[in-house]
Amino acid sequence: MGYFKDILEGGWSLVEGMRVTLRRLYKPVVTVQYPRQRVVLSPAFRGPIELVKFEDTGTHKCIACGNCEKTCPSGVIKVQGVKQAAKGPKVATQYFIDFSKCSLCGLCVEACPTNTLKFSSDYELVGVSRADSSADLLAKLGESKA
């Protein structure tokens, strides 16, 4: 008797399985057809680092303190700054990140005292040589004091 029960129960489970896949057949696809549609990124997405353009000053607030350079575990940041006035803060004149070694860990973003670093939401990054991975963040912001 167990023989027939096995056959019937097993057979019914097969039918139920086929019902599941049939229902899947006319559900819409969940893939995103990439070049024509893009995925909606969450605000927590970690793209390559860039400088924030603040609204009140219209520029970055990097004071070239070097915290990010010291914190970075891979040593990819190079900052240089110059004092604008005798008793004022420094302003960054050069800011380079070598993205071929950046692991997007975010320690620099956390360490920055003026919150002038942030993650971008850029992912379409293609380069044809190793030089393409070294980015000048000040030039990206629109000002270069190189």
Partner 1 sequence: MGNGVGSEWIRLIVGLVVVLAFSQLNALFLVWLERKVAGHIQLRPGPKEVGPFGLLQTIVDGIKLVGKELITPRPADRKLFMVAPVLVFMPVLVGFLVLPFGPDMIIRDMNIGVLLVFAFSTFGVLAILAGGWASNNKYALLGAVRSVAQNIAYEIPLLLSVMSVVLMVNSMTFSQIVNSQQSIWFIFLQPVAGLIYLICATAETNRAPFDIPEAESELVAGFHTEYTGMRFGLFFLAEYTNMFIVSAVATSLFFGGWQGPFGFSLGIPGVVWFLVKTYVLIFVIMWVRWTFPRIRFDQLMNFSWKVMIPLSLANLLVTAVVIKLI
Nearest-CA neighbor of 114 among 144, 75, 79? 79
The alpha-helical segments, DSSP class H, found in the chain are 2-25, 67-71, 107-111, 137-141
CB of 41 to partner 1, least distance (A): 21
Scanning 27-35, 67-75, 85-93, 107-115 for contacts with partner 1 by CB under 8 A, the matching segment is 27-35
Q: Is 138 exposed, middle or buried (0-12, 13-18, 19+ CB in 10 A)?
A: buried
Is residue 20 near partner 1 by the rule CB under 8 A?
yes
Is residue 18 near partner 1 by the rule CB under 8 A?
yes
Residue 93: both structure tokens together: 């004149």
User: Pattern 62-101, binding to partner 1, x per CB under 8 A?
Assistant: ----------------------------------------
Is residue 36 near partner 1 by the rule CB under 8 A?
no
Phi, psi of 7 (to 5 degrees): -60, -45
Contacting positions for partner 1 (CB under 8 A): 7, 14, 17-18, 20-22, 24-27, 29-31, 33
